[in-house]
Amino acid sequence: MAEQEFQPKIIGFFCNWCTYAGADLAGVTRLQYPPNIRVIRVMCSGTVSPHHVLRAFQKGADGVLIGGCHIGDCHYLRGNYMTIKRMRFLQDLLKFTGFEADRLHLEWISAAEGPKLAQTVTAFTNKIKSMGPSPLKRLTAKAA
């Protein structure tokens, strides 16, 4: 039997005002992207705590994509600055725990950037595909 292509599970945390709207716009303009992502709408990328992201990785997510407003465009003025800080720290933490830091990706996508949303999700999904399953899955498989 031919080996099935690895289909990663990706969690997206999209801010309501920019990236979630950009994702809607991608739909309105019928831009196509891989269906591996599951989107959680949050009010601001600053709503996402490191714990939420870690929970996703603990539960086996292969990648986490966080989308917020461009710097200077945050609906809540500076929530996305907090996001940068937290995600940089998280990437270091992921590396420390043996995850590839790139499994966590942060992108600023505005409500007008439907194409960028589609491109970002596509590129990120392909990247995770090439990286293979989350190290956690490899670990559980090994432990078995």
The window from 88-96, 97-105, 115-123, 124-132 that contacts other proteins (CB under 8 A) reads 115-123
d(CA 113, CA 8): 24
Distance from chain centroid for Cα 40: 10
| 5, 18, 20, 63: which one binds other proteins (CB under 8 A) | 20
Q: Is 60 in the site for other proteins (CB under 8 A)?
A: yes
Q: Is 126 in the site for other proteins (CB under 8 A)?
A: no
Task: Find all residues with CB under 8 Å of 144, minimum gap 6, and list them.
Answer: none
d(CA 139, CA 144): 9
| 38, 71, 95, 132: which one binds other proteins (CB under 8 A) | 38
Q: Is 65 in the site for other proteins (CB under 8 A)?
A: no
Q: Is 49 in the site for other proteins (CB under 8 A)?
A: yes
**128: buried, middle or exposed (CB in 10 Å: 19+, 13-18, 0-12)?**
buried
d(CA 135, CA 131): 10
Q: Is 43 in the site for other proteins (CB under 8 A)?
A: yes
The site for other proteins (CB under 8 A) is made up of 9, 11, 16, 20-21, 23-33, 35, 37-44, 46-49, 51-52, 55-56, 59-61, 75-79, 82, 86, 110-116, 118-119, 136-137, 140-141, 143-144
